Amino acid sequence: MKKLPSLDVTQTYEGFSVSLQGVWVKESIQKLDLAFSTLTCKPKASYTFDLSGITDFDTHGIMLILHHTKKLEAQGCSIFKIGASESLEKLLSICELHYPKEKVEEKKELFILSFLENVGKDLFEGYKTLSSFFAFTGELTHFVIAAFFKPFTIRLKATLYHIEQSGAGALPIILLTSFLIGIVIAYQGATQLEKFGANIFIVEMVTISAVRELAPLLTAIVIAGRSASAYAAQIGVMKITDEVDAMSSMGFSPWNFLVLPRLFALIISLPLLVFFADIISVFGGMVIATTKLDVSFVEFIDRIKQTVALKHLIIGLIKAPIFGCIIATIGCFRGFQIDSSTESVGKYTTISVVNAIFWVIAVDAIISVLLTEMGL
């Protein structure tokens, strides 16, 4: 039978004799700690710890003994340890050697100071991010121009791979969302137009809003969610596993191998995706126009030819590569910001998507205002 862990104190004429017994392992620590707290210190007394009764021990038990004997020692008591078995003696001396001399304490600061510190840090971080983003876009522009002068340095295979992944792969979800958006605009418009008996105007409403604004914007948002995150995570993990460093040390520029293929892939595939989105969203509108407003497919298409100017389609398609450029640049930039911690992968991947979507919408707003002011 295992002996219950215990601690017996007897007073001798030399001082105190403390007999430790039983198993001194982590499971019995709580009880033993309590027993120790009854051990009061008489200044300058001598304590003899008899360790011969300890049947089993681990480092936690030993730390408990050390903790309390050190406390007694600090109060001027003299401590003797006797009767330890060979292995206990050995572990005891190792633990004593490595006993933490000072507590490692986290600095506690005034709330207002840490608040100011955090604000300052954030501001400085923001400034640093902004300047490194400018540096990134600058370098990117340099490599893009260089690539135009030496087209054979463009990694065609990688570019095609990314067109397939980010472009063709996104087609189903983009078709579905743009179809639904076409339905939504037409449906909302239909109830209003019906009141005025202006059923036929559904054509202009759906077609212009879809091809000029909604299809490009929606496509860009879907791609930002899909590809900005993917680019950031891919490049970030490559950074963590030192692949990026390995590349540069072998003379393969990460710009040519990682960034340009992704950038070109999105610049090429976004207008194509937008074109598909245009067709399908208008089709969605047509379906509602037929069922709700009795405007047949033929009437609808005839009306598009007569009243909807080609410029709306072209404006929508011109915006697409700009959005692609924004998404790829932000995705890659955030990817290169990822450092060695796994947490930063999640952080910068999220930021990349949020940034990309925000800038797509912001740039769309700017273009929209500019073009309208210019009378287009």
CB 277 within 8 A of CB 218: yes
Closest approach of other proteins to the CB of residue 89, in Å: 9
Q: Does residue 87 bind other proteins (CB under 8 A)?
A: yes
Pairing of strands 16-24, 6-11: antiparallel
- Considering the complex, state which of residue 64 and residue 327 has its C-beta at the smaller distance from other proteins: 64
- CA–CA separation, 3 and 120 (whole Å): 59
> Does residue number 44 form part of the binding site for other proteins (CB under 8 A)?
no
Is there a contact between 62 and 24 (Cβ–Cβ < 8 Å)? yes
Question: Of these, 8, 52, 99, 135, which contacts other proteins (CB under 8 A)?
Answer: 99
Decide: is 375 part of the binding site for other proteins (CB under 8 A): no
> 249 vs 372, which CB is nearer to other proteins?
249
Please, which of residues 14-33 interact with other proteins by CB under 8 A? 25-27, 29-30, 33
Q: Is residue 95 near other proteins by the rule CB under 8 A?
A: yes
Measured from the CB atom, is 144 or 237 closer to other proteins? Answer: 237
> What residue spans of the chain are helical by DSSP H?
29-37, 59-74, 86-97, 111-149, 156-162, 171-196, 202-208, 215-223, 229-240, 243-249, 254, 260-293, 297-307, 310-337, 342-373
Tell whether residue 74 is a contact of other proteins (CB under 8 A): no
Cα 99 from chain centroid? Answer: 39
Using CB under 8 A as the criterion, what x/- string covers residues 263-292 for binding other proteins?
------------------------------
Q: Is 274 helix (H, G, I), strand (E, B) or coil?
A: helix
Integer Cα distance of 249 and 241 in angstroms: 14
Count of residues engaged in binding other proteins, rule: CB under 8 A: 32
With residue 7 as reference, give the H or E element that holds it.
strand 6-11
Verify binding: residue 98, other proteins, rule CB under 8 A.
yes
Cβ pair 262, 162 in contact under 8 A: yes
Residue 104 binding other proteins, by CB under 8 A:
yes
Site track for other proteins across 51-70, x = CB under 8 A: -------xxx--xx--x---
Please state, in angstroms and rounded to a whole number, the distance separating the CA atoms of residues 94 and 76. 24
Q: In 110-225, which ranges are continuous DSSP H helix?
A: 111-149, 156-162, 171-196, 202-208, 215-223
User: CA 338, CA 351: separation in Å to the nearest integer?
Assistant: 11
User: Please, are residues 215 and 178 in contact by the beta-carbon 8 Å criterion?
Assistant: yes
Distance from the Cα of residue 290 to its chain's centroid: 45
Q: According to the binding rule CB under 8 A, does residue 122 interact with other proteins? A: no
Residue 100 makes contact with other proteins by CB under 8 A: yes
Decide whether 19 or 85 has the Cβ nearer to other proteins.
85
Which region among 86-94, 231-239, 288-296, 327-335 touches other proteins (by CB under 8 A)?
A: 86-94
Tokens, residue 186: 């037409």
3, 44, 71, 90: which one contacts other proteins (CB under 8 A)? 90
Binding mask 313-352 for other proteins (x = CB under 8 A): --------------------------xxxxx---------
Q: Which stretch binds other proteins (CB under 8 A): 99-107, 195-203, 212-220, 224-232?
A: 99-107
Q: Which of 41, 45, 79, 91: binder of other proteins (CB under 8 A)? A: 91
Helix (H, G, I), strand (E, B) or coil at 81: strand
Name the residue nearer to other proteins (CB basis): 33 or 139. Answer: 33
Residues that bind other proteins (CB under 8 A): 25-27, 29-30, 33, 58-60, 63-64, 67, 87-88, 90-91, 94-95, 97-104, 106, 339-343
